[in-house]
A = this chain, B = another copy of it.
Amino acid sequence: MGLDDRKLAVLRAIVEDYVATQEPVGSKALVERHQLGVSPATVRNDMAVLEEEGYIRQPHTSAGRVPTDRGYRLFVDRLSRVKPLSPAERRAIERFLVGAVDLDDVVHRTVRLLAQLTRQVAVVQYPSLARSKVRHLELVPISTTRLMLVMIADTGRVEQRLVEMPGPISVEDVTDLRQLVNEKLVGTRLSDTPPLVQALVDESTPQLRPAMATLSSVLLETLVERHEERIALAGTANLTRGGLLDFQGSLRPILEALEEQVVLLKLIGEAEPSTTRVLIGDENEIDNLRAASVVSTGYGPGSTIVGGLGVLGPTRMDYPGNIAMVRAVARYVGELLAQN
């Protein structure tokens, strides 16, 4: 179990070289490219230990070594410093995000920016409704029995939903409904609304009750329970970099996983405050993504978190770089949101 400093240095060198060249790295090449101060033979001994401990492995008997998921994990946890951004990257981020007019705009720009900076697949979750507060609810009559319910959240998100009324409803009743729901719900966190919505129904006048009942059920069902979470994706073309070496030749499972909102949410939606989460290969719970790594973090105005964002790529990725990018972008987006 003893991994002395040099063995760690060897592991670090292996990871760095392999990430850079995409080829198994041998003992000789290692001593040439890094100043380890020892001979190849010594490195070989160290490698044998590292392999025994499960940090690296040999694709074939007569090949160099390649880091295992466990090796990457150790590298990320103990052997790497977060790489500071270059001024050019910093500028790119600012330039990209300035001039966004809209939440949609912010999210789209962010996801493309991330994809471009990291050259990986980027994923950005829209501010979670559960973590937003209601800013305004609007009811717009579409026909005598149909309303369009529009909810505006303090995070800038706007959700709409068609509501089919049990019977014809007058313009005055709509006005009353609008006023009622706004009075009770504006300013509340969406995750806290269910009891309030229930109360709304109970407190309505008999005349309004049926309408309020359907309205509230729609509110609960769609805005709180269901597809409340939205996600933007970019950079899938980056999966094809590195030929077919990454992902053992088949993009299929990855592309499939990326089409499932639920999966993506699991990946980046469970953000904890001020942590950058790194999932490496097997650590991933989604079978289709066992060959991929994910770097994600939460973002939001100030120190609160309203959503997650991150990148996905081959386990053989530049972790320090990507971690730095993800964090930096998250921070900028947070500032942008705080300005609202």
Q: Residues on A close to B: CB < 8 A?
A: 101-102, 135-136, 138, 140, 142, 148, 150, 152, 156, 158, 160-162, 222, 234-237, 239-240, 244, 250-252, 255-256, 258-259
Nearest-Cβ distance from residue A177 to partner chain B, whole angstroms: 15
Contacts of A256 in B (CB 8 A): 237
Contacts of A234 in B (CB 8 A): 259
Contacts of A148 in B (CB 8 A): 136, 152, 158
Contacts of A140 in B (CB 8 A): 136, 138, 152
- CB <8 Å contact, A252 and B236: no
Contacts of A152 in B (CB 8 A): 140, 142, 148, 160
**Assembly CA distance A156 to B162 (angstroms):** 9
**Assembly CA distance A162 to B237 (angstroms):** 32
The residue in chain B whose Cβ has the minimal distance to the Cβ of A236 is B255
- CB <8 Å contact, B162 and A101: yes
**Assembly CA distance A254 to B135 (angstroms):** 41
The residue in chain B whose Cβ has the minimal distance to the Cβ of A100 is B162
- CB <8 Å contact, B259 and A237: yes
A138-B135 contact, Cβ under 8 Å, with A152-B148, A234-B259, A240-B251: no
- CB <8 Å contact, A237 and B255: yes
- CB <8 Å contact, B160 and A158: yes
The residue in chain B whose Cβ has the minimal distance to the Cβ of A154 is B142
- CB <8 Å contact, A101 and B161: yes
Nearest-Cβ distance from residue A339 to partner chain B, whole angstroms: 11
Please list 28 pairs of residues, one from A and one from B, whose beta carbons are closer than 8 Å in the complex, sorted by A's number: A101-B161, A101-B162, A101-B222, A135-B142, A136-B140, A136-B148, A138-B138, A138-B140, A140-B152, A142-B152, A148-B152, A148-B158, A150-B150, A150-B158, A158-B158, A158-B160, A234-B259, A235-B259, A236-B236, A236-B255, A236-B258, A237-B252, A237-B255, A237-B259, A240-B251, A240-B252, A240-B255, A251-B251
Contacts of A150 in B (CB 8 A): 138, 150, 158, 160
Contacts of A102 in B (CB 8 A): 160-162
Nearest-Cβ distance from residue A19 to partner chain B, whole angstroms: 21
Nearest-Cβ distance from residue A181 to partner chain B, whole angstroms: 14
